[in-house]
């Protein structure tokens, strides 16, 4: 079984290949944030990778929120989940609580990459309005990285 380090490195390598604007540089594995990207001798970017919160994870959701924020489409026995802004907001909020810890690395910028790599999100879909979504965050860049499709959405 893959450990968390290998999993995070794999996700970041896939992300790097999938987003053409990813800057060149040397990746250094750290704990908080997960990686530091050294873009020059003096400049670096802290990169945190996390999985999107789900209603089954118990994070920031109660039953009424879950029913309002999770859309399902049933065709036969198949159920498709739609990722909503509520799930992303919950994930951002959870990671922003650690941002002051990440800033101890003294990087020039901090990115949050939210991934759907989880059995809970396999086959999930995005609403067409995703391109209109905006999130308040203290991260300098915010991404949703859809796996296994390797599709990148940039929010900030």
Please report the DSSP string for 46-99 in residue order: EEEEEEPP-GGGTSS--HHHHHHH-EEEEETTEEEEE--HHHHHHHHHHHHTTH
Which two three-digit tokens encode residue 110? 């901090």
* pLDDT tens profile 83-139: 889 889 999 999 999 999 999 989 999 999 999 887 667 667 788 888 889 999 999
C-beta separation of 82 from 74 below 8 A: no
CA distance 92 to 119: 20
| Total H helices, total E strands in the chain | 4, 8
pLDDT per position as a tens digit, 2-48: 566 588 999 999 999 999 999 999 999 998 999 999 999 999 999 99
Q: Is 14 helix (H, G, I), strand (E, B) or coil?
A: helix
- Which bin fits 123, alpha (ψ -120 to 50), beta or left (φ > 0)? left
């Amino acid at each position: 079984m893959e450990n968390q380090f290998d999993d995070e490195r794999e996700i970041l390598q896939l992300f790097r290949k999938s987003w053409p604007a990813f800057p060149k540089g040397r990746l250094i594995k750290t704990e908080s944030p997960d990686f530091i990207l050294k873009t020059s001798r003096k400049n670096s970017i802290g990169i945190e990778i996390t999985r999107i919160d789900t209603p089954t994870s118990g994070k920031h959701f109660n039953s009424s929120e879950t029913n309002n924020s999770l859309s399902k489409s049933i065709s036969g026995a198949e159920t498709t989940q739609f990722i909503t802004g509520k799930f992303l907001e919950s994930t951002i909020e959870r990671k922003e609580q650690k941002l002051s810890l990440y800033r101890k690395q003294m990087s020039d910028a901090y990115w949050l990459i939210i991934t759907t790599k989880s059995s809970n999100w396999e086959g999930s879909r995005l609403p067409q309005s995703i391109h209109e979504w905006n999130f308040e965050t203290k991260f300098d860049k915010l991404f949703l990285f859809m796996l296994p499709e390797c599709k990148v959405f940039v929010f900030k």
